[in-house]
Amino acid sequence: MFLKNRHAHGLLLAACAVGAASLLLALPAIARPSQTHAVTRVTVLAGKPSEFRFKLSRTKVRHGKVVFKVENKGTIPHTFKICSSPKGGLANTCRGKSTKVLSPGQSATLGYTFRRAGRYEYICTITGHAVAGMKGILKVT
């Protein structure tokens, strides 16, 4: 390409220099692998395989954001609560995040971010349900 105007030639060179500098600045961000994990999804069936049990589609997840899709497949109301401390036992009560009370056939979504690895309990918060066996352990790696 031949440019007769020195001014136009100078502008073209300047534009190319700016473009090249922008690309060089962007390369480290493009080359760096992402530190975030994809959201993990877990299906939780409450009241199944028996009334006072949970069935999870997976019992081991990576730390980070987990979305639980909870469905009450039982014949009485249930909840699903994730305990916020990785104690690893089988508590009947705990602090954490819970769904609302789900009537038979209802479902809810519960999101929780696990900041560290450990063994996290999950329970049904309706009186007597956890004692009857409606609880378990979720392993977070």
**Tens of pLDDT, residues 99-111:** 999 999 999 999 9
**Tens of pLDDT, residues 86-132:** 876 777 888 999 999 999 999 999 999 999 999 999 999 999 999 99
**Tens of pLDDT, residues 26-63:** 555 554 444 556 899 999 999 989 999 999 999 999 99
Residues 6+ apart with CB under 8 A from 107: 69, 70, 71, 72
Per CATH, the number for 40-140 is: 2.60.40.420
User: What residues does each domain of the chain span?
Assistant: 1-32, 40-140
Query: Is the peptide bond preceding residue 49 cis, with omega within 30 degrees of 0?
Result: yes
Residue 87 burial by Cβ neighbours in a 10 Å radius (0-12, 13-18, 19+): middle
